Amino acid sequence: MTLELLRIDDRLIHGQVVVGWGQPCEIGFFVLVDDAIAGAAWEQELYRMGTPPEMAIEFVTVAQAVQGLARYQADPRVGMLLTGDIETMDRLTAASPSLRQVTIGGLHMKPGRVQRMRYVFLSPAEEARLQAMAARGLTVVAQDVPSAPVMSLDEVLRGDGTA
Amino acid sequence: MMSERRAAVVAGHGRFAEGIISAVAQVMGEGHGLVAVTNANRTPEGIEQAIREALDRTGATVLFTDLPAGSCTFVGARLARSVPALHVVTGTSLPMLLSFVAGGTLEKVVEQAQAGIRVLGEGR
């Protein structure tokens, strides 16, 4: 098995991830990539508390994730890797050319962002960063839950928030 | 009409909070003291702000959330670190809220909600 999904989601581990993806896809482990949470024991305990025992969580920095990638890919369980923002996923994928696709799962309303999809709000700087990631050869798509259609980056950036 | 208003904030996905509070109102009447917060379209920071505002506005010290792994629950647990008086109850159901509005302690609220779970029918 391999990493089933590389997801950008400002809520990190939450209902959609644990129940929406975790149960139907039989996710066995999460890799939560966040430099701050990797050093915050209490935050880690909080995420563990909300996750079923059959789903393991590893908390790592970007550097640790790059180092651990081969191990994640070789893991017999189904895995999901999560970052809370585009910048973190950009740094990770730039350092890991074997990663080919990332999925925007949820980026919500903040000042300066424009709504592109029901669950995707982006600032001009974030849009430029996603385009730069795509120009590097990465496939960038959006999909919040398994039953939703997969939207291309072009479709996301053309969106007006209704899809 | 209830003699004493006991405030609490109910937070969750989509229109969960709004819907379950409307069910409470149908059973217990208005004046239940429950305030709804949704996580829809909100970042974790936005959810925290909305919950904080609702707690401040009502003086509530109880936050009911829908899902143990939900973003509102995580936000509530973080809030409870800086607001020691705050209690966060997750897995919220209608029997739970009815018990709270009727004046039950949190222990009683959880106990009654758990006791109220049944599987009925011949095929069980």
d(CA B79, CA B74): 9
- The structure tokens 């379209």 sit at B41
pLDDT digits (tens, 9 = 90+) for A19-58: 999 989 999 999 999 999 999 999 999 999 889 999 999 9
Determine whether the interchain pair B77/A121 forms a contact, defined as Cβ–Cβ distance below 8 Å.
no
Chain A, chain B: beta-carbon pairs less than 8 Å apart: 48
**Assigned token pair, A43:** 């935050």
Best CA proximity match to A127, nearest among A157, A88, A84: A157
Which residues on chain A are in Cβ contact (under 8 Å) with B71? 11, 14-15
Q: Cβ distance A20 to A94 under 8 Å?
A: no
pLDDT digits (tens, 9 = 90+) for B68-124: 999 999 999 999 999 989 999 999 999 999 999 999 999 999 998 999 899 998 776
Which residues on chain B are in Cβ contact (under 8 Å) with A115? 41
Of B46, B67, B81, Cβ closest to residue A15 = B67
Of B44, B68, B77, Cβ closest to residue A11 = B44
Of A15, A18, A121, Cβ closest to residue B13 = A15
pTM of the model: 0.89
pLDDT digits (tens, 9 = 90+) for B49-83: 999 999 999 999 999 999 999 999 999 999 999 99
Q: Give residue B34's region: left, alpha or beta (phi > 0; psi -120 to 50).
A: beta
Determine whether the interchain pair A108/B69 forms a contact, defined as Cβ–Cβ distance below 8 Å.
no
Q: Does A121 touch chain B (CB under 8 A)?
A: yes
CA dihedral defined by B100, B105, B106, B112, rounded to 10 degrees? -70
- A60-64, A98-102, B77-81, B119-123: least confidently modelled range: B119-123
Which residues on chain B are in Cβ contact (under 8 Å) with A85? none
Determine whether the interchain pair B69/A51 forms a contact, defined as Cβ–Cβ distance below 8 Å.
yes
d(CA A108, CA B72): 14
Of A13, A42, A121, Cβ closest to residue B69 = A13
Bridge pairing between strands A139-142 and A101-106:
parallel
B5: pLDDT confidence band, cut at 50, 70 and 90?
low
3-state helix, strand, coil in chain A (%, to 5): 35, 30, 35
**pLDDT at position B54, please?**
97
Say if residue A78's pLDDT is above 70: yes
Best CA proximity match to A3, nearest among A67, A76, A90, A95: A76
Report the chain A residue with the minimal C-alpha distance to residue B69. Answer: A50
Q: Cβ distance A54 to B69 under 8 Å?
A: no
A2: pLDDT confidence band, cut at 50, 70 and 90?
confident
Say if residue B4's pLDDT is above 60: no
Best CA proximity match to B51, nearest among B24, B28, B82: B82
Burial A66-82 (b: 16+ CB within 10 A, else e): bebbeebeebeebbbbb
